[in-house]
Amino acid sequence: MSEHVTATYRVNSEGRTIAHPAHHTLLEVLREACGLTGTKHGCELGECGTCTVLIDGEPQLSCLVLAREVEGAAIDTVEGLEGRDLHPLQKTFADLGAAQCGYCTPGILMAAKALIERKPTPTRADVCEALSGNLCRCTGYIKIIEAVEWAAALCRGESGARPADASLYGVCKEKPHG
């Protein structure tokens, strides 16, 4: 029989005391014990970014974190974006069609949220770097990057902001000369 621990977590600003096997990852505790299934199982090796959550405001791969190691930390999941209105990231992703199958979207939203909170006026290179650990198999990332840039403008209070046009080539690189 495996060892169990009882720990108190702050998930989406709500205190939760949970008993779980000591070897469970944060991903397992969030999905199985908390019922927060927005955080997805992906590769379970820390390579796809699908399970990204914020721990004390920093994006972390929940499949690589033992739950008991983050007792007392502020853990934010994609469900925490819900409110009376859509979060600007959710709005821009929906308006631009930045999600196709949607499996990677929760992890991307959380990585983007951390970026926007850390750097309210991110450059395209900042967006690309922040999302570099999140794999999407359906999109070409163009709409995702545009959605994050637009959401950042909305978060800064630029209500009339519109998405920037992305070049089909070199989205995360400088434009070629000539």
Whole-Å CA distances, 92 to 11, 128, 151, 173: 25, 17, 6, 22
Query: What CATH topology corresponds to 88-155?
Result: DNA polymerase; domain 1 (1.10.150)
Give the pLDDT confidence of 131-163 residue by residue, as tens digits.
Answer: 999 999 988 899 999 999 999 999 999 988 887
Domain ranges of the chain: 4-81, 88-155
Instruction: Evaluate if residue 20 carries a pLDDT over 70.
Output: yes
Encoding tokens for residue 147? 């959605």
pLDDT over threshold 90, residue 117 = yes
User: CA-to-CA distance for 123 and 16, rounded, in angstroms?
Assistant: 37
**pLDDT (tens digit, 9 = 90+) per residue, 27-77?**
999 999 999 999 999 998 999 999 999 999 999 999 999 999 999 999 999
* 53: nearest Cα among 35, 65, 68, 44: 65
Q: Is the pLDDT of residue 176 over 90?
A: no
Model-wide pTM > 0.85: yes
Q: What pLDDT does 175 receive?
A: 47
* pLDDT tens digit sequence for 87-99: 999 999 999 999 9
Least confident of 11-15, 83-87, 130-134: 83-87
Query: What homologous superfamily does CATH list for 4-81?
Result: Beta-grasp domain (3.10.20.30)
